[in-house]
């Protein structure tokens, strides 16, 4: 089990757990220099989810954005059987 830092807000931990389920996204994040800051990680995950972020966001706005990212990542990992 990967190490988990408990001082991050619960929503960030939840987003991190969801990101771990997406190998293509993990591949992007693991590229050298691709995710050297938290802002870059957020931008990469947002782009992967088809979201465009531009501006400064307060804690409440980021929480909403993270919820939307989790929702989109879960949609992308759902298998539909007909």
Q: pLDDT tens for residues 29-82?
A: 999 888 888 889 999 999 999 999 999 999 999 999 999 999 999 998 866 666
Angle at 38 between CA 44 and CA 4, to 5 degrees: 105
pLDDT for the residue numbered 81: 65
Helices H / strands E in the chain, number of each: 4, 0
Report whether 18 contacts 75 (CB < 8 A): no
- Which of 45, 8, 1, 52 minimizes the C-alpha distance to 27? 45
pLDDT for the residue numbered 3: 58
What pTM, to 2 d.p., does this model score? 0.82
pLDDT for the residue numbered 64: 96
pLDDT for the residue numbered 35: 80
């Amino acid at each position: 089990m990967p190490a988990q830092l408990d001082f991050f807000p619960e929503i960030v931990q939840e987003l991190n757990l969801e990101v771990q389920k997406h190998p293509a996204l993990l591949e992007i994040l693991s590229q050298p220099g691709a995710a050297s800051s938290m802002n870059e990680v957020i931008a990469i995950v947002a782009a992967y989810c088809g979201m465009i972020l531009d501006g400064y966001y307060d804690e409440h706005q980021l929480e909403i954005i993270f919820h939307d990212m989790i929702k989109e990542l879960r949609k992308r990992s759902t298998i539909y059987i007909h």
